[in-house]
């Protein structure tokens, strides 16, 4: 499967979050997750955000790589 490269800002836009560089940095610095918590289980996602992230990972969509990067950034 060929994957598209989505920048972090595009993922943040899809999630309805501030997609500016400052907004992304602020979100990451204020939403760190414990090592044992799945990304999609985080309490700060809305149901639709969690669903988007979960489907992107399960379907190995073109979003999966950047979702994995978000997961790593929140640790």
Could you give the domains of the chain? 8-73 (1.10.10.1130)
Residues 9-29: tens digit of each pLDDT:
999 999 999 999 999 999 999
DSSP per-residue letters across the chain: -------HHHHHHHTTS--SHHHHHHHHHH----TTS-GGG-TTS-HHHHHHHHHHHHTT-TTHHHHHHHHHHT-
In this prediction, residue 4 carries a pLDDT of: 60
Q: Is the pTM of this model over 0.95?
A: no
């Amino acid at each position: 499967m060929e994957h598209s490269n989505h920048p972090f800002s595009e993922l943040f836009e899809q999630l309805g979050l501030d997609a500016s560089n400052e907004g992304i940095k602020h979100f990451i610095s204020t939403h760190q997750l414990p090592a044992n918590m799945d990304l999609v289980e985080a309490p700060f996602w809305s149901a639709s955000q969690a669903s988007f992230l979960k489907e992107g990972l399960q379907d190995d969509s073109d979003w999966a790589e950047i979702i994995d990067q978000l997961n790593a950034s929140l640790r």
